[in-house]
Amino acid sequence: MNFDFTNKVASRHKRIMTFAALFASSIMALNPANAGSVNRIDTDGSQIIVSFDDFVESAATFSLLGPDRIAVDIKGGKAGHGGRATGMVKAVRQGQYDINTARIVFDLDRPAIVSSGKFSKDGRSLQLKLQPVGSYAIKNGRKSFLPPLQFRAEPPKQSYSAKVPLGRPKDSVALPKISGPKDSNRPLVVIDAGHGGHDPGAISPHGSQREKNVTLAIAKAIRDRLIAGGRVRVALTRETDKFLVLEERYGIARRLEADLFISIHADAAGNESAHGATVYTLAEVASDREAAKFAARENKSNIINGVNLGGTGKDVSSILIDLTQRETMNVSADFAKLLHREGSRQMTFRKTPHKFGSFVVLKAPDTPSVLLETGYLTNANDVAFLSSRAGRSKIANGVGSAIEAHFARKLAQR
C-alpha cells in the first residue's frame, strides 16, 4: 500500500482548538501586569541576590535535604531562566509554580538554611544569607519576606485567579528537530522518552537498567523505524539524558502542532512475575487501582524533593478543556486499540492491554496522546527484551505499523 499522507487530518479539531486557545489567552491577559519577572540571580559565597524587573508581592524560602537545596517562592513573580551558581550553590533552576508564583531552586554543596533575608529599598531585589548547618538542623522551616509597602505588587483579585485551561507549554524549552519527509503536510508524531536527567524512573532490581535510558533507546528505535517508513514526520522530546517536566513534554507536541504524541515508559512492580505492555490514555477516573497507582508514580516526575516544577494543579481540568479534549480522548483511545492490535504481533501485552488514568503527560487537550508502558524492569524476560536491540526493533515495528495504520484510517475517513 502506498498512502498519501499529504493532507491535514484534523482541521475541524484544530479550529475548535484555536478558539479555545484564544479564550485561554484572554484569561491569561487578566493576570496582573505588574508581576515582576526574575531577571537576574547572583550567588556569592553564602549570599544569594534575586533581582526582578518589576514589583513582586512577597517571597518565602524553605530548605530541603538530600540532595541539599533551598527553594525560594516569589509571589507575584514570573520565572526567568537559570542563574549564576558559585560558592555553596552548585546549580540554579527556575519554574512557574503556579500562575502567580515563581519558584527558584538552589542546589547546594552542603545542608544550609536561610539565616536572614531582606528586599532592597526599591523592592526590586531580594538578598538572602545562607548558613551551613548540620543536616539534623534542617526542618524545612519556611521564612517569609515582604518588599517595602510602597513597592509591593498587589495580589491579584480573586476573580483573576481564573483556571488556565490549556496547561502551560513553556517556550523556554528549545523545540527539537523534525526528521522524516520535508513536506510539512505530512502528519507529525512526537515520541517522548519518559524520565531523564536526575529522574531515572523505574530501576531494575540490580540497578543494571534505568527506565530513562531504556525509554530513550526505544524512542530512538521508533523514530528510526518511522523515518525508514517515510510516511510521517517525527520528533523526540529529548535525545539526550535530560530532565523535562511533564508539561514541557506535551508542550513540545503542542507547539509543533503534532498530530500524535506517544510517551514511552517501563514500569517496576513488587511482584517480579508482572510482565507485559499496557497502553494508557487519559481519563479523570482511573480504570482500576493499579492504573491509579501507576499514574501517581509517573506524575511524581515533576516533583523534586517536594518541589513541584510542573506547576499545574488539580483545577486545570475545566469545562473549557472538555470542548476539544473529549474528541481528543476518543481519538487517543482508538489509537490505543490499534497500538495493541499491531503491537501484540511483536511483543507481549498484559491481559487488560488498555487502561485509563490521570496522567499529566497526556493532558494536551488538542493532541491525541497515549502512554505506552512497554514492560516491567522487574521481570527478567521483560528487562532482557526491552534492553536488547532485537526487542527495541520489535517494539518499533509494532508502534510504527500502528502509527501508519492510524493515519491511513484518518485519511480514509475524510
Residues that bind Zn ion (CB under 5 A): 194, 201, 265
DSSP conformation letters of 102-134: EEEEEEESS-EEEEEEEE-TTSSEEEEEEEE--
Strands 69-75 and 58-64: antiparallel
Give the span between the Cα atoms of 294 and 297, in whole angstroms.
5
Is the CB of 166 or the CB of 371 nearer to Zn ion? 371
Least distance in Å: CB of 201 to Zn ion? 4
Least distance in Å: CB of 83 to Zn ion? 29
Least distance in Å: CB of 110 to Zn ion? 31
Least distance in Å: CB of 194 to Zn ion? 4
Least distance in Å: CB of 373 to Zn ion? 7
- C-alpha closest to that of 291 among 368, 391, 362: 362
Least distance in Å: CB of 211 to Zn ion? 5
CA separation (Å) from 211 to 199, 204, 295, 387?
9, 8, 15, 10
- Could you tell me which residues come within 8 angstroms of residue 290 by beta carbon, excluding any fewer than 6 positions away? 355
Give the span between the Cα atoms of 144 and 147, in whole angstroms.
10
Is the CB of 203 or the CB of 227 nearer to Zn ion? 203
Least distance in Å: CB of 298 to Zn ion? 5
> How do the residues of the chain divide into helix, strand and coil, expressed in percent and rounded to 5?
30, 30, 40
Least distance in Å: CB of 342 to Zn ion? 22
Is the CB of 194 or the CB of 391 nearer to Zn ion? 194
- Determine the residue with CB nearest Zn ion: 265
- C-alpha closest to that of 354 among 368, 366, 369, 372: 372
Give the span between the Cα atoms of 192 and 387, in whole angstroms.
17
- C-alpha closest to that of 143 among 195, 72, 45: 72
Is the CB of 201 or the CB of 368 nearer to Zn ion? 201
Residue type, 12: R
Give the span between the Cα atoms of 220 and 193, in whole angstroms.
9
Is the CB of 266 or the CB of 283 nearer to Zn ion? 266
Is the CB of 265 or the CB of 350 nearer to Zn ion? 265
Is the CB of 151 or the CB of 243 nearer to Zn ion? 243
- C-alpha closest to that of 188 among 121, 261, 84: 261
DSSP 345: T
Is the CB of 10 or the CB of 395 nearer to Zn ion? 395
